[in-house]
């Protein structure tokens, strides 16, 4: 029990978790607003607006910077991690989502030709992010870190 109490009294941890939770809830609400359908997977899934990965790592890096200063190793490590995660979200993961969409379209063509492929064979298309989704996630994470650090 002490472990959980200590973990949730850690401002950096609370900032990162708050960033992730806020982004996931916003992502689900935005997706529901645009599609008119609630999809529970959006609460934990990747991809979409805003980027919860970017929000989480930016909240982490910002809170480390606030608490330990910009010259600290805590800030340096978390900033480098944030940059890698955001670069990956825009680059490799985004390309993976685009490729999945194309492959799913090919599966539809094969299914129309009589193939025995089922809808379960489809690939997940919500994987990466556009630069805007990453930027909004980053800004949200920075704001959350300032709010949480000023309250706790």
What are the CA-CA distances from residue 117 to residues 110, 114, 121, 126 (Å)?
8, 9, 6, 21
What sign does the CA torsion over 7, 11, 14, 15 have? negative
The predicted pLDDT at position 123 comes to 61
User: Residue 120: its pLDDT value, please?
Assistant: 60
Report the distance separating Cα 94 and Cα 78, nearest Å.
22
Q: What is the pLDDT of residue 115?
A: 65
HEC profile of 133-151: HHHHHHHHHHHHHHHHHHH
Q: How far apart are CA 132 and CA 135, in angstroms?
A: 5
Say if pTM beats, i.e. exceeds, 0.85: no
Task: Tell me which residues of the chain have a pLDDT lower than 50.
Answer: none
Please tell me the predicted confidence (pLDDT) of residue 85.
Answer: 93
Euclidean distance between CA atoms 13 and 148, whole angstroms: 11
């Amino acid at each position: 029990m002490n472990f959980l109490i200590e973990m949730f009294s850690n401002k950096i941890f609370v900032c990162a978790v708050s960033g992730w939770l806020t982004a996931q809830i916003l992502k689900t609400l935005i997706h529901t607003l645009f599609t008119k359908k609630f999809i529970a997977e959006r609460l934990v899934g990747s991809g979409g607006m805003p980027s919860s990965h970017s929000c989480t790592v930016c909240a982490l890096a910002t809170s480390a910077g606030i608490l330990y200063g910009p010259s600290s190793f805590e800030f340096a490590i978390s900033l480098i991690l944030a940059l890698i995660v955001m670069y990956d979200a825009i680059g490799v993961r985004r390309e993976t989502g685009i490729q999945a969409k194309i492959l799913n379209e090919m599966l539809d063509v094969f299914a129309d030709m009589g193939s025995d492929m089922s809808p379960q064979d489809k690939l997940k298309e919500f994987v990466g992010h556009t630069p805007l989704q990453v930027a909004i996630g980053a800004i949200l994470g920075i704001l959350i870190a300032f709010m949480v650090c000023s309250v706790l």
